[in-house]
Amino acid sequence: MLEPTYQADVVVVGAGIAGLSAARRLTSAGVTTVVLEAAHEVGGRMATETVDGFRLDRVGRLLSTAYPELRRAPGLDGLVLRPFDPGVLLHSDGRHHRAGVQQRGARSARGALHAVRALAGAPRPGGGPRRPVAVPGRQVSVPRSRSGAPLGTAVDQARLGAALTRLAGTPVERLLSRPELPAAEALVARGLPARTIDGFLRPLLTALLCDPDLTTSSRCADLALHAFASGRLCLPEGGAEALPQQLARTLPPGTVHTGVRVTSVSTTSVTTAEHGEFRCGAVLVATGARAAAELLPGLRVPGFHPVTVVHHTTDEPPATGASLLLDADRGGPVAHTAVVSRVDPSRAPAGRTLVTSTVLGVPAPGVDTAVRMHLARLYGVPTARWETLAVRHTAEAVPAMRPPHDLRRSVRLLAGLYVCGDHRDTGSVQGALHSAHRAAAAVLADLGVSGSLHSVEPVPTARAA
């Protein structure tokens, strides 16, 4: 039990990854910190439930090993990231095509050429042709030609490969100085061929941004593509909750209090529904955007992208390896899907298969049936006998980032009153962690504490499964 008169230097409201990461930075600078969380668990949107031994994420999590804050945020050095197979698998016309395979650090003309070959399915130096992967099942066959569909002609593919390689080598500051448009318009304005846009970039960005209409700012889209081109898509081992739990474990005992809802805040105190008032030297509101605006009237509430995640198990796993599968034909509700137990075997009991699929937007009634029908086409196997483990819908999953989007929204409202969370940066794990980094720096500066804020802690390793 907490004493109503409890004193701390800083009270953090919300134990999502932003609040926990900020608390970690504050406590390591010697600042006494209390984190108050309304729910009975830490993690916020990064929740994982266990059903029959399966580890099911509420979020269809796609992280990148290139997210800078996964390297920088103190407390995440024990996090294990499980990489997907390189690039993505694109489904088009009953076939699978691997796309977006990048050479890490390939910035020279020679490097770019190699990346283009990999993308184009052309022969690799010293190796055989990189052929598209056939969808297993009787109705499809391995294409004999070097058809690049849905990536377009060899020239289209070369341009795409060069563009991705260039993007990987472009400093983030340069990306952020480009003119800002809705992402869908920017793709066309940059002169890329329609087939490359529709067959690869649109489905990829839709999945990365959780935005089916690509109304997101082109700057956020560029950042997402930059992370894709310079790293590997990955999942946290054990489920999305591994990330907040790892952060919580590194806090001094007694820092986090769950089941405590904050009802109002000021620069020197917070009031809670359950335990009265807490006195403190500063308050950091680290809730989602809507709850933050309730506590801090006047704060902007953005629109949101709804996301539904569907988990299935089957005795006959599809033969797509540990790939992220996208539908270039947009022939159903699934934006992306993967045999997640191949990427991270700890998410399913031994010998069992977990397939996780993500639907964007408001789902139609009977979404599970529509998802199964779509998955049958995507994987090329019957899915009628697949068992549904869970269907989880989150209406306010990801804050919309329409242009003009301020990627560095203020985190210091007044001396003593601060705000962080994904709605202050980008609607992503990277954005939530980065906003926490900025907010903790602002709190420490105002408290006159010189912390080791910018020290780089050990990098979480992306270990191959």
Ligand X SMILES: Cc1cc2nc3c(=O)[nH]c(=O)nc-3n(C[C@H](O)[C@H](O)[C@H](O)COP(=O)(O)OP(=O)(O)OC[C@H]3O[C@@H](n4cnc5c(N)ncnc54)[C@H](O)[C@@H]3O)c2cc1C
List of residues contacting ligand X (CB under 6 A): 13-19, 36-39, 44-46, 59-63, 210, 261-262, 286-288, 291, 307, 309, 394, 397-398, 421-422, 427-429, 432
Q: Which is nearer to ligand X, 45 or 55 (CB)?
A: 45
C-alpha distances in Å from residue 116, one per residue of 106, 158, 194, 432 = 11, 5, 18, 34
- At its nearest, how many Å lie between ligand X and the CB of residue 20? 8
Nearer of residues 47 and 376 to ligand X, judged by Cβ:
47
The distance of closest approach from Cβ of residue 265 to ligand X in the complex, given in angstroms and rounded to an integer, is 9
Q: Residues with Cβ < 8 Å from 443, sequence gap 6 or more?
A: 10, 22, 26, 31, 282, 284, 418
What are the counts of helices (DSSP H) followed by strands (DSSP E) for the chain?
14, 20
Quote the least distance from Cβ 203 to ligand X, whole Å: 14
Nearer to ligand X, 164 or 240 (CB): 240
**Euclidean distance between CA atoms 384 and 279, whole angstroms:** 57
Output the smallest distance, CB 12 to ligand X, in A.
Answer: 9
CA 253 to chain centre: 29
Nearest distance in Å: CB 26, ligand X:
15
- For tokens 């806090």, the residue is 251
Q: Would you say 228 or 376 has its CB closer to ligand X? A: 228
- Give CA angle at 432 (428, 275), nearest 5°: 130
With the C-alpha atoms ordered 414, 419, 423, 424, is the resulting torsion angle positive or negative? positive
CA distance 164 to 236: 25
Nearer CB in complex with ligand X: 283/397: 397
Q: How far is the CB of 336 from ligand X (least distance, A)?
A: 9
Minimum distance from residue 378 beta carbon to ligand X (Å) = 18
Nearer to ligand X, 147 or 215 (CB): 215
Q: Is 98 left (phi over 0), alpha (psi -120 to 50) or beta?
A: beta
Select 155 or 362, whichever has its Cβ closest to ligand X. Answer: 362
Q: Which of 192, 254, 241, 242 is nearest to 221 (CA)?
A: 192
Estimate the crossing angle of helix 109-120 against helix 154-168, to 10 degrees: 130
Are 321 and 342 contacting, i.e. CB atoms less than 8 angstroms apart?
Answer: yes
Rg, C-alpha atoms of the chain: 23
Q: How far is the CB of 343 from ligand X (least distance, A)?
A: 14
Judged by beta carbon, residue 9 or residue 37, the one nearer ligand X is: 37
d(CA 148, CA 145): 9
